Amino acid sequence: VIFATRLYRFPASHRLHSPDLSDAENARLYGKCNNPYGHGHDYLLEVTASGGNRERSGLVFRRSALDRLVADKVLSRFAYRDINRDVEQFANLVPTTENVALVVAGLLEQHWSEYLCPGAVLHRVRLRETPRNTFEVVVSAAPASELRRIPTARSSQS
Amino acid sequence: LVPTAENLAGEIWRRLDRRFARSSAVLSKVKLFETDDLYVEVVREER
């Protein structure tokens, strides 16, 4: 099986704080990431796909098509943003990088067919927060019920 | 054949996999970086 992966970098800030917990519990659970003023990361996003029309083009996907999808649906929302305040999906969701990866995967999956040629399949979204912390969503292995739970703009409006 | 990163990785896989034929080791993955922001992997399918 051939997989192709494209990498994107974006800076953003977040604060880990759950309204369902007390201040003391938040401080204990999230430690320094609970700092009231937040903190920033240079995130590294990897988007991996398989399939595609390789007999014809030799490509799993057109690089420019994926670049447009990521720019329109992900970078426009996250890059240089305060994730807690600026990204609607996190109005009621703690922006752990696990949750950010799930939201990004949901956005890509939701809009995939609008940008990518038929046959290319979104396989994995990997998000590196720091050199020691990386999270990945294996989209092609996730059951449909799991994917439906990914909060997206569409589902948060309904 | 169009020399895309995908096709190049596939050809590297074929050439290496032949060399593993008489070995007890199995080629499991080839990963080819084309640029800092694009790489391609060929992964053996699990049966």
pLDDT for the residue numbered A153:
46
What ipTM goes with this model?
A: 0.90
Binary contact (A5, B39; C-beta < 8 A): yes
Set of chain B residues whose Cβ sits within 8 Å of the Cβ of A6: 37-38
**For A57, nearest residue in chain B (alpha carbons):** B2
Nearest CA-CA distance, residue B37 and chain A, Å: 5
User: What crossing angle do the helices spanning A97-115 and A63-70 adopt, rounded to 10°?
Assistant: 130
This prediction has a pTM of: 0.90
- Provide mean pLDDT across the span A79-90: 96
Task: State residue A53's pLDDT score.
Answer: 79
Residue in A closest to B37 by C-alpha:
A7
AA identity, residue B28: S
**Does the beta-carbon distance from B40 to A3 stay under 8 Å?**
yes
Assigned token pair, A84: 């807690």
Token pair, residue B6, equals 């995908």
> How large is the average pLDDT for residues B22-37?
94
Distance separating alpha carbons of residues A95 and A100, to the nearest angstrom: 6
pLDDT of residue A115: 97
Range A24-28 contact pairs with CB under 8 angstroms and sequence separation of 24 or more: none
Chain A interface includes B30 (CB < 8 A): no
Q: Which residue has the tokens 């929302």?
A: A77
Residue A14 amino acid letter:
H
Look up residue A137 and give its amino acid.
V
Segment among A12-21, A55-64, A66-75, B33-42 with least mean pLDDT: A55-64
* Closest to A15 in 3D by CA, of A72, A79, A78, A97: A97
Distance CA A103, CA A101 (A): 6
Residue A54 has pLDDT above 80, yes or no: no
Q: Token match 């009621």: residue?
A: A92
Q: In the 8-state DSSP scheme, what is residue A149?
A: T
Compute the average pLDDT of residues B21-45: 94
